Amino acid sequence: MGAENTIPALAIRAGGADAAQEAGLTATAPIDAELVVRAAPDIVFVEDFMGAGMVPFQELLSNPALAEVPAVKNKRIVLLPMNEASAVAGTNLPLGYEKIMTEVHR
């Protein structure tokens, strides 16, 4: 997701860096292993879209090419409920922000 989306915007506000932007990605785009390796994030925040959990991300995150990416290597893949950290979070958005801020400063 680009920095204009909720989760990256909250992470940046919490003091995190936008690894995708630092890697030269300027807009929201489909993610693949090459992009994750290039971004080399320390933390990956993923949205639990419609209760699917980590299932939509398992194939990508289990790709051997990601084994040395800091977020994967250190098991810092954080699942965030969409009702707390997305455009539909509404009044629950502070809960998502708190989770993101806690993880960024961990």
Question: Per-residue pLDDT tens for 20-74?
Answer: 787 777 667 778 899 899 889 999 999 999 999 999 999 999 999 999 999 999 9
Give the pLDDT confidence score for residue 76 in this predicted structure.
97
Q: What DSSP assignment string belongs to the chain? A: --TTSHHHHHHHHTT---HHHHTT--S-----HHHHHHH--S-EEEEEGGG-TTHHHHHHHT-GGGTTSHHHHTT-EEEEETTTSSTT-GGGHHHHHHHHHHHHT-
Give the pLDDT confidence score for residue 25 in this predicted structure.
74
Rounded to two decimals, the pTM is: 0.85
Domain boundaries, the chain: 6-104
Angle at 74 between CA 68 and CA 76, to 5 degrees: 115
Give the pLDDT confidence score for residue 8 in this predicted structure.
85
Give the pLDDT confidence score for residue 66 in this predicted structure.
97
Give the pLDDT confidence score for residue 60 in this predicted structure.
95
Q: Which CATH number fits domain 6-104: 3.40.50.1980, 3.40.50.1580, 3.40.309.10, 3.40.47.10?
A: 3.40.50.1980
Confidence of residue 18 (pLDDT cuts 50, 70, 90): confident
| Closest by Cα among 7, 77, 91 to 41 | 77
